[in-house]
């Protein structure tokens, strides 16, 4: 008697509308599409969209033995994706928050070109998906759409995409403000010729940092910016790129590292060439994890709340699974300035 408007759309409704079994619909919804033909899957997907089916955490748990698990996928060119301290801290924060609430975390690193073939999407039974994406905007949007097509809530980190779908939340730190602050700092100490050292690959967070750098420069007459792209953000590749650059260009007053690792590689190279840091060249980093204290002088940098971002994402996801909606679609966590000896 109750009209469809007044009650939640169920798997059974989808099954009836598409003339397939409830189990088949369940397989599609739970991402076990290896058991379903592509034609059937498209039919079910269309019905899900039309009837506005929203997976409910409670009914998923009663129905499926694959619950209590969140997937985290990290798009990276480097196979040692977890060795990046930013990723390591973020994943630890996420994992710990989920563990405390009896959820497990499945992690996978994947090269950009293999993203949609990641086994996490086909074999792991997850309730929700998290991701850090890189690459051009259009590519990232395609990959977000792909994740949303798994009919699971999605949280992405450090991304600038503007997405209308209610199934996604974005957790960012204020990279732009960080870039602005650290640049204003070196300008206030007299730097006029700045060099921003960045990885070649398009990380949205790096673009935001650069946006902040440019904003600070625009506010002060006579300050110039050059940008040096390094093929990889490893110690050696950063030093090679800098060596090539300095072979043909006058040394800058300040080198702004896209990350702490790149900053310290640049600093060590300049010191090896006989320059004094910060007297001859200032150097700044970005992230502020413990290794930023390893160099002499220690790094002036922007501290990232990476662990907190992971925790927050865990909280958003669990709330979403419980209530059916994200309590916040976009979150921007503050960064903080850390004075070291390098600038």
Q: How far is the CB of 184 from its own copies (least distance, A)?
A: 26
Q: How far is the CB of 295 from its own copies (least distance, A)?
A: 5
Q: How far is the CB of 214 from its own copies (least distance, A)?
A: 28
Q: How far is the CB of 211 from its own copies (least distance, A)?
A: 27
Between CA 88 and CA 287 the distance in angstroms is 12
* Closer Cβ to its own copies, 155 or 261, answer by number: 261
Let me know how long the chain is: 343
* Closer Cβ to its own copies, 213 or 283, answer by number: 283
31-42 burial code (b ≥16 CB/10 A, e <16): bbbeebeeebbe
Between CA 259 and CA 302 the distance in angstroms is 9
* Closer Cβ to its own copies, 226 or 231, answer by number: 231
* Closer Cβ to its own copies, 122 or 249, answer by number: 122
Candidates 153, 181, 144; CA nearest to 303 is 181
> For residue 308, what are its two tokens?
């907190």
Q: How far is the CB of 301 from its own copies (least distance, A)?
A: 13
Residue 140: DSSP 8-state: H
The pair phi, psi for residue 189, each rounded to 5°, is -95, 15
CB 335 within 8 A of CB 178: yes
CB count in 10 Å sphere of residue 49 = 11
Q: How far is the CB of 222 from its own copies (least distance, A)?
A: 33
* Closer Cβ to its own copies, 96 or 160, answer by number: 96
Q: How far is the CB of 215 from its own copies (least distance, A)?
A: 29
* Closer Cβ to its own copies, 97 or 177, answer by number: 97
Between CA 193 and CA 76 the distance in angstroms is 32
* Closer Cβ to its own copies, 251 or 291, answer by number: 291
Neighbouring residues of 130: CB distance < 8 A, sequence distance ≥ 6: 70, 71, 72, 73, 94, 154, 155, 156, 157, 313, 317
Candidates 314, 313, 290; CA nearest to 303 is 290
Residues near its own copies (CB under 8 A): 32, 64-69, 71, 79-85, 87-89, 91-93, 95-96, 98-99, 102-110, 118-120, 122-125, 234-235, 261, 264-265, 268, 271, 289-291, 293-296, 307
């Amino acid at each position: 008697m109750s009209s469809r408007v007044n009650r939640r759309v169920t798997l059974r409704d989808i099954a009836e509308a598409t003339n397939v079994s409830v189990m088949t619909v369940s397989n599609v919804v739970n991402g076990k599409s290896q058991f379903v033909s592509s034609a059937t899957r498209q039919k079910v997907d269309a019905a899900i969209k039309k009837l506005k089916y929203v997976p409910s955490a409670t009914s998923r748990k009663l129905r499926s033995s694959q619950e209590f698990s969140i997937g985290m996928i990290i798009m990276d060119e480097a196979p040692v994706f977890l060795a990046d301290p930013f990723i390591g801290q973020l994943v630890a924060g996420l994992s710990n928050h989920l563990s405390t609430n009896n959820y497990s975390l499945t992690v996978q690193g994947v090269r950009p070109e293999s993203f949609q073939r990641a086994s996490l999407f086909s074999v792991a039974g997850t309730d929700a998906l998290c991701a850090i994406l890189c690459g051009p905007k259009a590519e990232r949007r395609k990959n977000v759409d792909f994740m949303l097509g798994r009919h699971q809530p999605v949280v992405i980190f450090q991304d600038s995409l503007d997405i209308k779908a209610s199934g996604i939340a974005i957790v960012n730190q204020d990279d732009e403000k960080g870039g602005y602050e650290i640049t204003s700092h070196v300008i206030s100490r007299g730097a006029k010729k700045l060099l921003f050292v960045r990885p070649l690959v398009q990380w949205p967070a790096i673009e935001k940092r650069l946006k902040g750098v440019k904003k600070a420069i625009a506010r002060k007459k006579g300050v110039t910016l050059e940008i040096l792209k390094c093929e990889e953000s490893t110690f050696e590749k950063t030093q090679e790129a800098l060596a090539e650059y300095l072979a043909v260009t006058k040394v800058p007053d300040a080198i702004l590292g896209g990350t702490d690792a790149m900053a310290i590689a640049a600093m060590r190279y300049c010191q090896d060439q006989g320059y004094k840091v910060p007297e001859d060249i200032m150097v700044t980093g970005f992230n502020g994890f413990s290794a930023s204290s390893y160099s002499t002088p220690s790094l002036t940098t922007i501290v990232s709340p990476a662990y907190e971002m992971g925790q927050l994402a865990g909280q958003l996801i669990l709330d979403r699974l419980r209530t059916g909606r994200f309590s916040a679609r976009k979150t921007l966590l503050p960064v903080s300035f850390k004075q070291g000896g390098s600038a």
